[in-house]
Amino acid sequence: MKISDISKIMDIAEASRTAGHNFVPCFRALAGVGKSQGVQQWAAAKGYTIYDLRAALLDSTDILGLPFYDAAKGTTVFAPPDILPQDDGKKYVLFIDEINRGTTAVMNAFMQLLTDRRIGIRYKLPDSCLMVAAINPDTDGYEVNSMDDAVISRLIMVDIDFDLQELIAYARKVGWSSTITDYLSTGVWKFTGKKDEQGVLVNPRSWGCLNAADAGGAPNNPATYSIICQSILGKRLGAEFWTFATQERPITLGQLTSEFNKYNGNFGAMPLGAKLTAMCTTGGKGYRGDLVSLLEGEILQAFTNKTAPTDDLIYELLMVFPADITVNLLKNWCAAKSPSKDPEQLRSAAEGIRRKYPKLAGKVSSGVRA
């Protein structure tokens, strides 16, 4: 599932609670993907107030409450903690974030709450209150504690996967720096969930930090901006992004598509068409193989995501690109037209392209021979 699917799961949890049931989703994802933010956005949109509990910061007594002596009863009783929602008629979400970073004692303290919606006899969760949890996976690189079956069985585990296009759409919606969204759109950066050679983990949260730096005017001082980029993104990726941001910007597939439509499919009349031709001309003064490679990566990503532009624009681009890139993109173009990867379908797709664009076949043949 994707981050956008969190709202669908939360809708089910809400409907289930309205019907008197206890449906507690636990969203599991790599760090920085946005699972916590997804829950917070859903709650805000639905008018819920969130009680955000970070299990790593809690002791079991924070959940169970502290004992005190009741003179009237002559017994020790527990005082319920005020970090839990009270029954005051408002709508609440009890969000137990990173529950598996809590100690075993803390996770045990949550068990009665997750099952019976109460703690002892002095605290009861408001009837309308929803519960939800979030965790990082129990894999290398995460300092989390194992959750035993008794805890896991009280939660509905939902795995959340990262989706680059979803991140780009979100970033544009909330007004991130266009430099960042343009770079992400090239598809060069791929989220692996692993640290680089310098031990830096770059995730969606990292790009959010860089956007905050951009909003603070960091790009106005290129030397300082270089340091910030490498601090957030690591030396290699940071230097690459800094070059992208401060030097000549690549032509994006979105720009080409827009201009192709504006000029009614006349690629030769497009200003960007002439600029791209110069960038692709090996040995020419305007040759920029690095920027052409970025555009190639963006087109490959578009094939994968089924967001490729019209066949006519792809044809024009393949006629401009160096022969080796054209051959690579043509193979992927045929594959995109043959989702099943059946050999017969691939041959049919290739034949269809050859018939429609005979000049392209000639270029590819010369490129293969070279």
- Say if residue 54's pLDDT is above 50: yes
Section 210-222 average pLDDT: 94
Give the DSSP letter of residue 23. -
Instruction: Give the model confidence (pLDDT) of 2-42 as tens digits.
Output: 999 999 999 999 999 999 999 999 999 988 889 999 999 99
235-246 vs 222-233: helix axis angle to the nearest 10? 140
The closest alpha carbon to 172, from 52, 290, 252, 273, belongs to 252
pLDDT for 370: 38
Instruction: Give the model confidence (pLDDT) of 83-111 as tens digits.
Output: 899 989 899 999 999 999 988 999 998 99
CA dist., res. 53 & res. 114, Å (int): 14
- Say if residue 367's pLDDT is above 60: no
- Say if residue 213's pLDDT is above 60: yes
Residues 6+ apart with CB under 8 A from 42: 6, 7, 10
CA dist., res. 297 & res. 184, Å (int): 11
Which homologous superfamily does the CATH classification assign to the domain defined by 3-159? Answer: P-loop containing nucleotide triphosphate hydrolases (3.40.50.300)
The closest alpha carbon to 271, from 259, 287, 261, 280, belongs to 259
Question: What would the two tokens of residue 281 be?
Answer: 């001309």
Q: Is the dihedral of CA 120, 125, 131, 134 positive or negative?
A: negative
Residue 163 pLDDT grade (very low, low, confident, very high; cuts 50, 70, 90): very high
Q: What is the CA radius of gyration of the chain?
A: 27
pLDDT for 368: 44
Instruction: Give the model confidence (pLDDT) of 112-143 as tens digits.
Output: 899 999 988 888 999 999 999 999 888 766 77
Buried b (16+ CB within 10 A) or exposed e, 48-86: bebbebebbebeeebbbbeeeeeeeeeeeebebbeebbe
Buried b (16+ CB within 10 A) or exposed e, 313-341: bbbbbbebbebebbbbbbebbbbbbbeee
Q: How many CA atoms are closer than 13 Å to the CA of 155, on its beta-carbon side? A: 26
Section 156-178 average pLDDT: 92
Domain boundaries, the chain: 3-159, 164-246, 253-369
